[in-house]
Amino acid sequence: MELTAKSRNSLVAMYLSVGGLIILAMMIFGILMLMAQGGMLDLSPAAFYQFLTIHGTGMVGAAAFAAAGVMWYFLSKEVKLSKKIFKLNAVLFLVGVVMVIIGVFSFEYASAWTFLYPLPAISANAWGITGALLYLFGMLILGIGFLLLYIDTGRAIIKKQGSLAKGLGWDVISGKKEEKDAPTPTIVASTMVTIVNITALTAGAIVLIMNIINVINPAFTFDPLLAKNLTFAFGHIFANSIIYMAVIAVYEILSKYTKRPWKANKPFLIAWNMSTVFTLLIYTHHMLMDSVMPTWMLIMGQVLSYANGLPVLIITAYGALMIVYKSGIKWDMASGLIYISMFGWVVGVVPAIIDATIVVNQVMHNTKWVPGHFHLYMALGACAMLFGFMYYLAKEDSAIRTNAFDKFGLFGYTIAILALGGSFLVSGALSTPRRWATHFPDWMAPANFGAVAGALAAIALTIYIIHFVRYMMMRNKQDKDVEKISA
């Protein structure tokens, strides 16, 4: 099967539209949760936890799916990827999503997306075996799809570069090869994601299967500490990988718009290598309360968490400023969203660094401060990159134009997410615990404020999606016109 630009674009557009639509649907559940916490909406605690489960699972899954589409789009221009596997991943993703939805809404499964052992099996009858199995199997199927995808990207990178180490530029760092022959930023980022996500998904598959056996036969038990380690090795790394896939759009789009190459030099390669190692190791910051963990692991988790994303963030933010400086860049929706995403990434990391400080963590731990950090970083950082790419692809591939609504969407989204993230941070500062269905009256105001901000974000995303769907319809029509002419 030859990969033509046309078939690449249709497949990638399918990934982005599915991802975008699921993110929009999940925003609605987010708004409903905030309204319930704020006392505006009467929602049973059971329903709240089902919403929390679908929101966490759906957001991370859909953003990862769309980000994989971005990575595949650019990587497939440099190495030979399998179209079949890209399609297979989409099919497995959809099957998994349907199973998870049925498990949560028809069978009341509500363990949150962390499915922490032994909760799937022991729920005090909040849900039964069927719900747990649908959810766990759905996640497993979805994970296998992603695993196959990364095995394919790994294979293709090794074929082109010789090894994954060379994909990360080890031969350039060690001086064996000149900087000008370094792998492209797209290859470097894809190699990093391939390495960390194959690790994450393998850990995830193991712990999912162990949970499945435990649900079917409760006599089979295993070490809860091991289960927690595997679960967060999966969850932390996989969620982190979203921004490392999406950032490829920053490199490619800014370099195209400024007509300046974004070269991988030595500092760039070293930064990506550091973040590869840190991303693999620091899930241990989820274990800081588990005093039975080996102390050295907890210290490592603590220390490296400070440094986790910083190397890549700094090298990318600095690079973005340098490439745009005096370049005469034309600002449009794509470059605007990409630039906002750099801002969102930086703003989202600051509260995380504050929280990683032990004295602060003792107060902020498990408060809404934590969702405050990751909503900024995910919604304004990673997701803005995805949406920027959607506008880029539409512009590249059709004659579609943006209008005043789109501009409103850009400003509206930025303000909405800053307000939403801010409301979570304020809640955290008030010591509001995270993951609580019901709030004391003192805690309600920020939740209600967040719900309004969330609604504005959902409106903005609806505008982006309408634009993208119009593009997809336009290119279908173009294809038909071409057929007519050639017939």
| Residue ranges in contact with ligand HEM by CB under 6 A | 23, 27, 30-31, 33-34, 52, 55-56, 59-60, 63, 112-113, 368, 371, 375, 378-379, 383, 420, 434-435, 454, 457-458
Give the Cα separation of 142 and 136 in Å (integer): 10
Q: Do the beta carbons of residue 33 and residue 55 sit within 8 Å? A: yes
Choices 87-95, 170-178, 236-244, 327-335; region in contact with Cu ion by CB under 5 A = 236-244
| Closer residue to Cu ion (CB): 340 or 370 | 370
Q: How far is the CB of 80 from ligand HEM (least distance, A)?
A: 31
> How many residues bind Cu ion, per CB under 5 A?
1
| Closer residue to Cu ion (CB): 110 or 237 | 237
Residues in the chain, total:
487
83 lies in the site for Cu ion, by CB under 5 A = no
Q: How far is the CB of 264 from ligand HEM (least distance, A)?
A: 27
- H or E stretch covering 216: helix 185-216
| Closer residue to Cu ion (CB): 236 or 439 | 236
Q: Which does 79 bind (CB under 5 to 8 A by kind): ligand HEM, Cu ion, none?
A: none
Q: Do the beta carbons of residue 245 and residue 68 sit within 8 Å? A: yes
Binding track over 252-271 against Cu ion, x by CB under 5 A: --------------------
Would you list the DSSP string of 131-188?
HHHHHHHHHHHHHHHHHHHHHHHHHHHHHHHSSHHHHTTHHHHTTSS-GGGPPPHHHH
Choices 67-75, 106-114, 154-162, 235-243; region in contact with Cu ion by CB under 5 A = 235-243
- Nearest residue (beta carbon) to ligand HEM: 30
236 lies in the site for Cu ion, by CB under 5 A = yes
Q: How far is the CB of 295 from ligand HEM (least distance, A)?
A: 27
| Closer residue to ligand HEM (CB): 204 or 319 | 204
| Closer residue to ligand HEM (CB): 149 or 457 | 457
Nearest to 375 by CA among 365, 384, 387: 384
Q: Do the beta carbons of residue 204 and residue 238 sit within 8 Å? A: yes
| Closer residue to ligand HEM (CB): 27 or 352 | 27
Q: How far is the CB of 23 from ligand HEM (least distance, A)?
A: 6
Count the alpha carbons within 13 Å of 487 in the hemisphere toward its beta carbon: 6
Q: Which amino acid is at 435?
A: R
Place of tokens 């605690």: 45
| Closer residue to ligand HEM (CB): 258 or 308 | 308
Give CA separation, 409 vs 70, 335, 465, in Å: 21, 14, 11
Give the Cα separation of 186 and 153 in Å (integer): 12
Choices 229-237, 382-390, 399-407, 421-429; region in contact with Cu ion by CB under 5 A = 229-237
Count the alpha carbons within 13 Å of 358 in the hemisphere toward its beta carbon: 7
Q: Which does 236 bind (CB under 5 to 8 A by kind): Cu ion, ligand HEM, none?
A: Cu ion
Q: How far is the CB of 368 from ligand HEM (least distance, A)?
A: 6
Q: Which does 201 bind (CB under 5 to 8 A by kind): ligand HEM, Cu ion, none?
A: none
Q: Do the beta carbons of residue 305 and residue 285 sit within 8 Å? A: yes
Give the Cα separation of 400 and 477 in Å (integer): 12
Instruction: List residues near Cu ion by CB under 5 A.
Output: 236
